[in-house]
Structure 1
């Protein structure tokens, strides 16, 4: 049985898939008491305990208590998503004048890899230690319509400074497109306490974002955030402008569900992307990443009947996502950073989630 508290590092059986494949859990801990629990389905972050200003630990990510609930409710909670995170228009893209079709599981578009993306497959727990866990998965050629056999590794590392680093690497045996990210839903006040994230204060290191059409596909424009509800270059409460009926982009997405163009994104080493502060608990999150874009999602589509951990139901704005990634629909947008991966190249994504306490 999976232990309810993060006191000790460990490993065990989380559940069994219908075909008999076991899905393991593993818990990472540090000497300060912080802990992260991961499961093999989707190499997902199932729980994350961090201290508040009084030193009290609480779980600050959304998740489910059992495997059956993950399988019955696909909301990507904490998972590694792909092969192409975010949306592909019409599920289509072309490489070297050859067209590929992926499943359209989000209206007319492909979302997070299709009907059975990386979030729904069992990853292998390759190795683990008290501070470190490595998951691997081989995505076969043609899986969900994507070309090339792709070998993927996701490493989670929890250090003694309460920094959780996620490093994702991938190689391919044929030209392909790839865009991977972790889809954790954060509520710094505690995922089980009953509050939402509208009073969280958000800072984004982004002077531009990519507006979307009615199906949430980028239009191709890179728009200046100045004077709009998308300007988070200085801290703003997430709820302060989210209901601005004069902003068409907020109407389309029912809130924030947009890619921000990071000012210092796309480098070899992680650069500052975002800061979140919960004024009540005092918890802070500083995100550094190597990726060029950051999808900020305010939990707009969480249904009120989604069963969460500890008997809680998750609803709209109960958590937020900060998803470092390539831009949505990049394979169909020549002006966006390329998501192409060639044989002999290594896809590498590093994101560092640095937790602390507000001054």
Structure 2
């Protein structure tokens, strides 16, 4: 059964619920219909529940001004367009569009009030499946078209949290949905720099200082971005101080394929990431500063976001980032835990 409890009152006065999913192995996922946020993910390692995502037990922690101003997006569903759009601008045919810019000169993660701040309609599909739905009206954050989105969270008995995305539109619109959890697999509270990470790709997006793509894919060989062989996050981080980069797999796939794995410093818990998306944004969390009752600081977690490429609508060679009327947007990401 999925347990449903009250989680607080949203800024608009609506009641918000928390949905608790449990599998037969003792794994537990807690999801709220405010922003579709995964607030907690407990893994039963050696008979003890281990919290592996950064999150809060109180809705106010997600809605207060201080938290929002720091832009951590803990555990949230991101849309209409995840990651960055250069200057918030794009063109459809002969018409130019200007989105709200909420990260300096650029649009980030859906704008001033993205999907992470919306109340989603929740529907329990089974003992292990929760469906969240949101319809974004034409013109929201200056995006064209009415976009209807469904996201299904499924907790399997194979210790896998699956996230399935589907959307349709009545006008051509940019789209890039993702899930923004920060992971920390350690048994005791500590940073993620000693975590071991492997990413199965030869390429990373070329970006400028604002993390806007130039349109090219760069090879990771002989660079600090080479995670093709598992290494700690901190091994080569000194040169950069922080990872915030999109690793590229070139194409989407119809079925999820393994693209990365993350292991705690004691090699007691591994998380595999399987996805259909063509990209994986790695953010090592240097600028995390969030929480009042439960405080999280720099490198408290690592975000590994399966998604499309940033600014894809402005790069025809990326060949994605758009949804047209009559099409169905479908993507899936699975987080599989091995212990």
**TM-score normalised by structure 2 residue count:** 0.95
**Match in the other structure for 1:302:** 288
Q: How does 1:1-359 map to 2 (within 5 A)?
A: 9-52=2-45, 54-72=46-64, 73-74=67-68, 75-190=72-187, 193-244=188-239, 250=240, 254-262=241-249, 265-280=251-266, 282-303=268-289, 306-307=290-291, 311-357=293-339
Unaligned runs of 5+ in 1: 1-7, 245-249
Partner SS for 1:299: coil
Q: Which runs of 5+ in 2 are unaligned?
A: none
Q: Distance in 1 between matches of 2:227 and 2:37?
A: 28
Alpha-carbon distance in structure 1 between the residues aligned to 2:16 and 2:125: 15
Q: Check the 8 A contact 2:270/2:337 in 1, yes or no.
A: yes
Distance in 2 (alpha carbons) for counterparts of 1:32 and 1:237: 29
8 A Cα contact 1:297 1:321, kept in partner: yes
Give the superposition deviation at 1:200.
0.6
Deviation for aligned residue 1:319: 0.4
Range with greater deviation from structure 2 (73-82 or 159-168): 73-82
- 1:4 counterpart residue number: none
User: 1:16 offset after TM fit, Å?
Assistant: 1.1
Aligned to 1:3: none
List per-residue Cα deviations over 1:251-288 (Å, max 9, x = no partner).
xxx4111000126x411000111001113261100001
Q: For residues 78 and 136 of structure 1, what CA distance do their matches in structure 2 show?
A: 17
Q: Write the distance in 2 (CA, Å) between the matches of 1:189 and 1:51.
A: 13
Structure 2: how far apart are the matches of 1:127 and 1:93? 37
Cα distance between partner residues in 1 of 2:130 and 2:35: 14
CA offset at residue 126 of structure 1?
2.1
Higher deviation after alignment, 210-219 or 319-328: 210-219
Give the alignment's TM-score, normalised by structure 1: 0.90
- Tell me, yes or no, if the aligned pair for 1:188 and 1:281 is still in contact at 8 Å: no
1:91 and 1:295 map into 2 onto residues whose CA distance is 19
